Amino acid sequence: MSSPTIEAGSTTPLPTREPVVALAGVHRSFGTNPALAGLDLVVPAGTITVLLGPNGAGKTTAARVVTGALAPDRGTVRVFGLDPAVDGESVRRRCGVVSAKPALYDRLSGRDNLAYSAELYGLGRGADATDRIEAAAARFGIVHALAQQVGGYSTGMKTRLALARSVLHRPDLLLFDEPTSGLDPESSHAVLELIREMPATGATVIMCTHLLLEAEGLADQVVVLDQGRDRVAGSPGELARRFWPAAVVRIDAEDRAGLRRALAADPRVAAVDDGDEPALPLTVSVDDHGRIPDLVFALTAAGVRVTRVEPFTPSLEDLYFAVRDGWAGDAVPVDETPLFEGKLSSGNRLGRRFGDPFSASPAGRR
């Protein structure tokens, strides 16, 4: 099965408004292991930024630096124009965090968990806090369980409670770590809908996930990290144009051997790829979109009975593997805390073969 394609809207350039998060030349080491090695990261306001990278790439460390849980060894960090290492409490009051294993108080009821968080975020215990708790619980379908101890909640219910907690204080920045891990379809849908809706409220989202299919329909910006550095960043559409400047189409014919010979002899063809599955059409790189009809006509004139021609639109998975295949060496092994970490999945890698891309939590929890 081929990878899903990038949403059409993702070709829109990123907004140029003032960034919510700006990291410049950030370094952070644990002992002799560098977790961040000159990281640059800009997250525009009102957008969804997806951080991708293998274990040890620096995603967790970057997230902890953003919230002020870790101070950088050197470099500049600004969140809402503030330095989190100095103004960490002010920064965290404007952030919401949802992780695969949310830190909740199992011996307290769901309502008491939310009430305690409301106090931490400066909402107090008045009518406004109560109204927000009820509204958040209703939004994520946990009103019926508010009186129950959280220790008896299912994984999905705990995630829904964490979602409710994350929006109580109407945060300006939300950070998500593998938020749908282990969830049933309904709970996963609730998470993704929250992420999708937040920019419309003016909030900014940073999401770390190994589920590229989920990120595909959400990302305004993709940042691939490796060895503590940002290897590539941009909107999915921008990255697709950068790594695949030529036109790419999938072509099949009754006589595959004859098709290969004809393509090999045509000067318009830059590359041909069988992919990992011989039953799939050939993936063909052509030097110009406008020459695809001429190529098909030439194949037909050469006696090739073409049975299929379709454009190849690179998916987020294709983009990730294209970037990854340009890395030199392996990622530095760094033991990172559970927040913002995961293993990247493998899958269809058709886009890998078209050139070398590099040649052309609440406060106090961590």
Same domain, 173 and 293: no
Same-domain pairing of 29 and 99: yes
Which residue positions in the chain have pLDDT lower than 50? 1-15, 327-366
Same domain, 35 and 98: yes
Per-residue pLDDT at 356: 30
Q: Where residue 288 sits, what CATH number does that domain have? A: 3.30.70.920
Angle at 55 between CA 49 and CA 59, to 5 degrees: 35
pLDDT at 74: 95
Contact 144, 111 (CB under 8 A): no
Residue ending a domain, choose from 172, 204, 234: 234
* Last residue in a domain, options 269, 295, 311: 311
Which of 205, 234, 263 finishes a domain?
A: 234
Indicate whether 345 belongs to any domain: no
What is the pLDDT at residue 158? 92
Residue 366: what pLDDT?
35
Residues 26, 84, single domain; the answer is yes
- Three-class SS of the chain: CCCCCCCHHHHCCCCCCCEEEEEEEEEEEECCEEEEEEEEEEEECCCEEEEECCCCCCHHHHHHHHHCCCCCCEEEEEECCECCCCCHHHHHCCEEEEECCCCCCCCCEHHHHHHHHHHHCCCCCCHHHHHHHHHHHHHCCCHHHCCCEHHHCCHHHHHHHHHHHHHCCCCCEEEEECCCCCCCHHHHHHHHHHHHHHHHHCCEEEEECCCHHHHHCCCCEEEEEECCEEEEEECHHHHHHHHCCCEEEEEEECCHHHHHHHHHHCCCEEEEECCCCCCCCEEEEECCHHHHHHHHHHHHHCCCCEEEEEECCCCHHHHHHHHHCCCCCCCCCCCCCCCCCCCCCCCCCHHHHCCCCCCCCCCCCC
Taking residue 141's Cβ as centre, other Cβ atoms within 10 Å add up to 16
Q: Do the domain assignments include residue 123?
A: no
Q: What is the pLDDT of residue 362?
A: 37
Flag whether 355 is in a domain: no
Residue 277 has a pLDDT of: 64
**Whether residue 270 is found in the same domain as residue 224:** no
For the chain, the domain total comes to: 2
Domain that holds residue 252: 245-311
| The pLDDT of residue 151 | 96
